[in-house]
């Protein structure tokens, strides 16, 4: 990693992070569930992992404990995707064993007192599996290569995307294409037009909502709105696509189905019967489409992506139906794989934010940054974290941001702290010690945006460091390796 991305050239910060997460973590985490579980003594092992992570990512400060919790708690639900006769199921309790024969040391054979005393990752898996209510079919007949829907009917399942449509002009041109496609579909008597959408309520205790509208010509022939359970938005959208297709194939003289959706990724997932969150919806779609496509060689289905910000005709109607529906409160819990993983991620992030309030955790020299509304930046898990995306692909800027935030820039306070024989006073002669706060807010030797936010703000700091590369750059004091 050091050779591929040094401090002055090579890979960008995001590429180095991807390399670390793709190549280093899987090796370091191999077999970790054998020693990382509730009640295990892991202090010494975690110390080694923190050293490894600190070397790999200087801008991440001591987060390996919560990262390992995230991986461990999310892995508890992998057992739900195992086949019904998998050997691991023979060790689990009766409700999770399915068709596997009970092992002589299975959890189901333990007494209640023994279950309280026994510690281990399998006990943790068995305890958390009931949180996931959706079932899976790891060896579903529809998922066999060569038998899958897209293997049998590759030319009769089409996807039209909006890839490359970024500016307003291209989006408006695409609106015209959508209008043309809708007009042509309405003129074909054997075509069923579907508009699908889903939404999540603001209250976490309420159901997600899935809606599907069916049209023949200009007439709306069916409207279906379903509570989807405590699931993620993609799961609810998948449910909406399933509802639309299962209703469309039941329509009389249906020869073509056109579905307008805002997610082409989920449209492709709807006809993918392999293991994933919401697999049950995909299997239902494949089982509905397979006999319909096999019956008539002229039958076909087309998925057309509609950007939500276009607020386009019938898709906007489906969106409005979702938002207007009063989602009931969740009484019988229905959770998907993605929803329980999302809950774990959210819980670990909250733990991380709690830890981050402690100065002993993030260090007394760490620079707390703010947004322009003066809210403090909080650590994030996804998309490169909180601070790294500010540099984009600029390796030099990422290093300067890192040096500034951690107070390791080559300035007077740094020289004094590490006893480096360099000048410690500021060149402006107004401050006896050149400190980070003085440079960022007061010193007249440095450039600032007159109309922009002060450098203490997140984006303001990035601009300030870009303008003053010399101060936070790579110049190395004499005698320092």
pLDDT at 453: 63
Q: In the predicted model, is pLDDT for residue 334 greater than 80?
A: no
What is the rounded average pLDDT for all residues in the chain?
A: 83
Q: Which residue has the higher pLDDT, 289 or 49?
A: 289
pLDDT band at 8 (very low <50, low <70, confident <90, very high): very low
pLDDT at 481: 34
Q: In the predicted model, is pLDDT for residue 479 greater than 70?
A: no
Q: Say what the alpha-carbon torsion angle 252, 315, 185, 288 is, to the nearest 10 degrees.
A: -40
Q: Which of 15-24, 317-326, 359-368 has the highest mean pLDDT?
A: 317-326
b or e along 34-70 (b: 16 or more beta carbons within 10 Å of the residue's beta carbon)? eebbeeeeeeeeeeebeeebeebbbbbbebbbbbbbb
pLDDT band at 220 (very low <50, low <70, confident <90, very high): very high
Q: In CATH, what is the architecture of 141-324?
A: 2-Layer Sandwich (3.30)
pLDDT at 320: 93
pLDDT band at 95 (very low <50, low <70, confident <90, very high): confident
State the burial class of residue 278 (Cβ atoms within 10 Å of its Cβ: 0-12, 13-18, 19+).
buried
Supply the DSSP string of 29-85, one letter for each residue: TTTGGGT-STT---HHHHHHHHHHHHHH-TTS-S-HHHHHHHHHHHHGGGGGGS-TT
pLDDT at 121: 87
Q: What percent of the chain has pLDDT over 70?
A: 88
pLDDT band at 63 (very low <50, low <70, confident <90, very high): very low
Point out the least confidently predicted range of 130-134, 233-237, 380-384.
380-384
Q: In the predicted model, is pLDDT for residue 381 greater than 70?
A: no
- The two structure tokens encoding residue 91: 């060790």
- The two structure tokens encoding residue 23: 């190549």
Q: How many Cα atoms are found within 13 Å in the side-chain-facing hemisphere of 215?
A: 21
pLDDT at 60: 31
Read off the pLDDT of residues 422-442 as tens digits, 9 standing for 90 and up: 888 888 877 788 888 888 888
Would you list the domain boundaries of the chain?
A: 31-131, 141-324, 365-481
Radius of gyration of the chain (CA): 28
pLDDT at 57: 57
Q: What percent of the chain has pLDDT over 90?
A: 31
pLDDT at 251: 94
Q: In the predicted model, is pLDDT for residue 165 greater than 70?
A: no
- The two structure tokens encoding residue 304: 């057309």
pLDDT at 234: 92
pTM here is: 0.72
Q: Which residue has the higher pLDDT, 214 or 454?
A: 214
How far is the C-alpha of 385 from the C-alpha of 352, rounded, in Å?
Answer: 12
How far is the C-alpha of 397 from the C-alpha of 402, rounded, in Å?
Answer: 9
Q: In the predicted model, is pLDDT for residue 197 greater than 70?
A: yes
How far is the C-alpha of 205 from the C-alpha of 328, rounded, in Å?
Answer: 9
């Amino acid at each position: 990693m050091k050779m591929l991305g040094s401090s002055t050239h090579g890979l960008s910060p995001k590429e180095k992070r991807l390399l670390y997460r793709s190549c280093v973590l899987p090796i370091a985490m191999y077999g970790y569930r054998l020693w990382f579980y509730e009640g295990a003594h892991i202090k010494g092992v975690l110390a080694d992992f923190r050293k490894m992570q600190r070397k790999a990512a200087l801008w991440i400060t001591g987060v390996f404990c919560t990262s390992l919790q995230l991986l461990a708690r999310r892995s508890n639900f992998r057992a739900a995707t195992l086949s019904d006769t998998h050997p691991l199921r023979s060790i689990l309790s009766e409700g999770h064993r399915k068709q596997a024969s009970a092992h002589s040391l299975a959890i189901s054979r333990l007494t209640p007192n023994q279950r309280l005393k026994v510690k281990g990752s399998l006990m943790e898996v068995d305890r958390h599996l009931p949180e996931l209510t959706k079932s899976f079919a790891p060896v579903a007949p529809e998922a066999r290569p060569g038998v899958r829907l897209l293997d049998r009917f590759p030319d009769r399942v089409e996807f039209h995307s909006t890839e490359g449509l970024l500016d307003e002009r291209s989006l408006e041109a695409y609106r015209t294409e959508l209008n043309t496609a809708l007009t042509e579909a309405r003129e074909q008597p054997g075509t069923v037009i579907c508009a699908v959408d889903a939404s999540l309520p603001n209250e976490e205790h309420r159901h997600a909502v899935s809606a599907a509208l069916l049209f023949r010509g200009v007439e709306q022939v069916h409207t279906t709105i379903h509570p989807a359970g405590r699931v993620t938005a993609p799961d609810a959208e998948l449910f909406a696509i399933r509802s639309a297709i299962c209703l469309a194939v039941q329509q009389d003289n249906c020869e073509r189905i056109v579905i307008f959706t805002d997610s082409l990724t989920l449209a492709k997932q709807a006809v993918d019967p392999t293991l994933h969150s919401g697999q049950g919806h995909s299997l239902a779609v494949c089982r509905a489409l397979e006999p319909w496509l096999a019956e008539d060689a002229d039958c076909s289905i087309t998925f057309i992506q509609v950007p939500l910000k276009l607020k386009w005709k019938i898709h906007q109607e489906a969106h409005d139906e979702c938002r207007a529906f009063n989602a009931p409160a969740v009484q019988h819990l229905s959770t998907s794989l993605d929803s329980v993983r999302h809950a774990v991620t959210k819980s670990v992030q909250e733990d991380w934010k709690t830890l981050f309030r402690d100065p002993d955790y993030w260090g007394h020299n760490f620079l707390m940054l703010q947004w322009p509304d003066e809210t403090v930046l909080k650590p994030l898990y996804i998309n490169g974290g909180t601070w790294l995306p500010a540099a984009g692909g600029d390796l030099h800027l990422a290093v300067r941001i890192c040096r500034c935030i951690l107070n390791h820039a080559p300035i007077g306070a740094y020289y004094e702290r590490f006893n480096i024989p360099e000048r410690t006073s500021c060149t402006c002669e107004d401050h006896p010690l050149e400190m980070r706060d003085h440079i960022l807010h007061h010193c007249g030797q440095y450039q600032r945006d007159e109309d922009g936010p002060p450098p203490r703000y997140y984006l303001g700091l990035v601009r300030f460091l870009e303008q003053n590369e010399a101060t936070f750059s790579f110049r190395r004091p004499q005698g320092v390796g």
